[in-house]
A and B are shown apart, each in its own frame.
Chain A
Amino acid sequence: MNKIWLIIKREFLTRVRKRSFLVVTLLVPVAFAAMIIIPILMAVSGSESKRIAVIDKSGIFNNQLPDKRGVYFKYLPDANLDSLKRHYEAEDYSGILYIPEIDINRPAGLEYYSKGQAGISLETAINGDINNVIERKRMELEGIDKSKLDALRSNISVEFKSGSDEKKGNSWVAYGVGYASGFTIYIVLLLFGTSVMRGVMEEKVNRIAEVMISSVKPFQLMMGKIVGIAAVGLLQFLIWGVLISVIYAVIPLFLSPESIQAASQSNMMAQGNNAEAAEAFRRVTDVVDSINWSLLLSCFTFYFLGGYLFYSSLFAAIGSLANEDASDVQQLTFPITVPIIIGIMIMMKAVQDPGSQLAVWGSIIPFTSPMVMMARLPYGVPGTVPYWQLALSFTLLIAGFIVNTWAAGKIYRTGILLYGKKITLKEALKWVIK
């Protein structure tokens, strides 16, 4: 036990002390912060303000186009298009919107002039605005009252409740949480699994394996590495958790309340009013509250560790079959990466339809369960995921981990000492049965 502890310590320390660990550990929260801050800043500062000269020969648009988000319309009904074209820049306009005399039923010939390309956002905005004005004008002509029409317009959404206590739920939040955690597990399996494999390969290729095996049992060496790297992963996630919550708490202090307000409004609904925005906020917080975070977090930790342990011993076994030739390993890892990729594919399905047969079985079979179950859990326990499924999934993952470790240990023990020979997977599997 003392020896395995020494091995864990070494595996942990050599990785944590590396500069790359520090970089990755710090960069991820920074990227996360950037994801929050940049859209806010963009919404606040907007693009630089644009003044657009409008030459309206039809008289329909006068003072009808709304000034918004840094775009200001200046109406010059009497200006001459050709002369304005020559000096509009000098007069501090970024472009000219020219509207000829038009037939309201067949409008044509509207043009926009600017030095460079106008850009998609301006194009969409102007097109939308123009069409709104024309629609309104047509309605007036047809005798439809605009205020009446607005009153008739509907914008409600059904409240989806689930379970006996009628918890309010929202599939979108469950979808987001499920997708994010399923995907995180997928990354963990591949990233840390490969890290185990590379560690084993290093030991074999550097020829330290036999020196080590003369002091410790192969199984101790393998488990020490697996546990050591797991500890690195946990530490990393812990630091990320802390840093991200700190960033989350600190960001509002740096941004003025108005800017957050502006950002959330522009994100939520550009055309909506404040009451609607508030209602949408309330719905989101309701749903966030409706998710059982402590259950989700403990299940995430379980599947994070369980999935990692399930796969890492297999990765270790593959690493032990490696030779100096790295391309051999690529081939050998294939049988392990395939179930992981199938897992992420089922996860993407399951997160949309958590009750389907594929999702249920995918979340029970240990090869895919860590990813698929995490996609289903946010939809609710025991509503979407009955307790028996969760229990079965847990049990099978633990059993799978034990079987894998036992089998991988046998391959590892032989492979790690076998030099200069290309080992096929078939041979390696024979060592398990022997």
Chain B
Amino acid sequence: MNLLEVKNLKKHYATHKAVDDISFDIRQGSIFGLLGPNGAGKTTLLRMITGIFYPDEGSILLNGKPFEPQRDTPLIGYMPEERGLYKKMKVGEQTLYLARLKGLSEKEATEKIKKWFDKFEINSWWNKRVDELSKGMQQKVQFISTIMHDPKLLILDEPFSGLDPINSNLIKQEIFDLAQKGTTIIFSTHRMEQVEEICDHIMLVNKGHKILDGSVKQIKQDFKQGLFRIGLGVVPNAAQMATYHFTIINIHENTVTVKMNEDSSTNDILLHFIHQNIPVTYFEEILPSINEVFITQVQQTEKAPVATAAQQPA
């Protein structure tokens, strides 16, 4: 079931089209990566989904119903990239205030906050002022205040910026847990290694257009270039490597990287080594990283900004 369905969303500013006809669906409980270079329109897109901006055109369905900001804000938790807390307020009061603005009663909010503070082991911070905390500690408080009202849709814009590896891991684990429990998560970033690690599904936008979207696995398959890394029992000589099934990309001692020719198969490659009587210690396909896909795709759209609007891999 799709928690969010976005159809033909448009938002035009006086000088440029921030979001130009973007459509996508997000399955409930999935972690959806929203990728794009700076200024691609990610923030504008997210602001429309959170009800901060009204779209010029298009529709947003949340939970199957047309999205209505006033009614639906309690369903959404949004941690914007430009985020902060009231510096002079105490941590406890601050989180309580934000929870109450999301519609929780005072009692309910206090209970939830206590629970999360316990979980993150920050109970002693309750009476500390926000500006007494380090930046990483503030991030934790910020994360808790985003999720404490149990949103159905959690939107995190660069959630790991400013976090050390330990806290990053803590938050990452929490994101997985929440998704497991059925929370749908939109995760916006340009840190690609995190995307591969965390997301089930990604969408790449640039210049207000959707460039591609699909599952991480599928996209890697779609953009693979038939590269294989093969470990050999001996260091091969050039004569042993001559075949029309693949071309050699490089040889490093007894590891070779090859590109398979179009009408050959992996078994053809393996057979070649068997016939040459060269022992194969391992054989693996090299899939493109999302980072590589991202860079090549963005570069392509930069070159031909208009024509590629709806370009999709076959």
Contacts and interface: CB of A to CB of B under 8 A. Distances in A.
Contacts of B79: 211
B101 A3 contact: yes
B82 A210 contact: yes
B261 interface: no
A10 B100 CA distance: 11
A211 B97 contact: no
Nearest to B89: A14
B101 A216 contact: yes
A86 to B, nearest CB: 69
A118 interface: no
B73 interface: yes
Interface string A18-47: 000000000000000000000000000000
Contact of B80 (A7, A10, A14, A211): A211
B142 to A, nearest CB: 8
B50 A214 contact: yes
A213 interface: yes
B87 interface: yes
Given A6-B101, A214-B52, A206 B80 contact: no
A208 B85 contact: yes
Contacts of B73: 214-215
B52 A210 contact: yes
A132 B102 CA distance: 83
A345 interface: no
Contacts of A211: 78-80, 83-85, 98, 142, 145
Contacts of A10: 97
A208 B89 CA distance: 12
A206 B85 contact: yes
B86 A214 contact: no
B52 A213 contact: yes
B76 interface: yes
A216 B100 CA distance: 11
Interface in B207-258: none
Interface string A391-433: 0000000000000000000000000010100000000000000
A215 B85 contact: no
Contacts of B101: 3, 6-7, 212, 215-216
B94 to A, nearest CB: 9
Contacts of A215: 73, 98, 101-102
Nearest to A211: B83
B51 interface: yes
Interface in B254-293: none
A207 interface: yes
A93 B24 CA distance: 101
A207 B98 contact: no
Contacts of B12: none
Interface string A209-235: 111111111000000000000000000
A7 B100 CA distance: 10
Contacts of B98: 211, 215
A3 B104 CA distance: 11
Contacts, number: 56
Size band of the interface chain A makes with B: 20 to 34
B88 interface: yes
A14 B76 CA distance: 27
> Chain A: interface secondary structure?
helix
A213 B51 CA distance: 9
Contacts of B102: 215
Contact of A214 (B51, B70, B88, B97): B51
A34 B83 CA distance: 48
Contacts of A210: 52, 80, 82-83
A214 B76 contact: yes
A224 to B, nearest CB: 10
Interface in A342-391: none
A203 B85 CA distance: 8
Given A10-B97, A215-B73, A215-B102, A208 B86 contact: yes
A335 B73 CA distance: 37
A214 B100 contact: no
Contacts of A213: 52
B87 A214 contact: no
Contacts of B87: 202, 206
Give the residue among B47, B52, B89, B142 with the most A Cβ atoms within 10 A: B52
A209 B82 CA distance: 9
Contact of A6 (B76, B83, B86, B97): B97
Given A6-B101, A10-B97, A14-B89, A208 B51 contact: no
Contacts of A217: 70
A207 B83 CA distance: 5
A6 B101 CA distance: 7
A10 B98 CA distance: 11
Interface in B87-112: 87-89, 97-98, 100-102
Nearest to A214: B78
Nearest to A215: B101
A419 B82 contact: yes
A206 B97 contact: no
A210 B142 CA distance: 12
Nearest to B80: A210
B256 to A, nearest CB: 49
A297 B52 CA distance: 43
Contacts of B76: 214
Nearest to B69: A217
Interface of A: 3, 6-7, 10, 14, 202-203, 206-217, 417, 419
17 contacts: A6-B97, A202-B87, A206-B84, A206-B87, A207-B82, A208-B85, A210-B52, A211-B85, A211-B98, A211-B142, A211-B145, A214-B51, A214-B80, A215-B98, A215-B102, A417-B47, A417-B52
Interface of B: 47, 50-52, 70, 73, 76, 78-80, 82-89, 97-98, 100-102, 142, 145
Listed from nearest, the 3 A-B pairs whose CB atoms lie closest are A207-B84, A214-B78, A206-B84
Given A207-B83, A211-B85, 9 more contacts: A14-B86, A206-B85, A206-B87, A208-B83, A210-B83, A211-B78, A211-B79, A214-B78, A417-B52
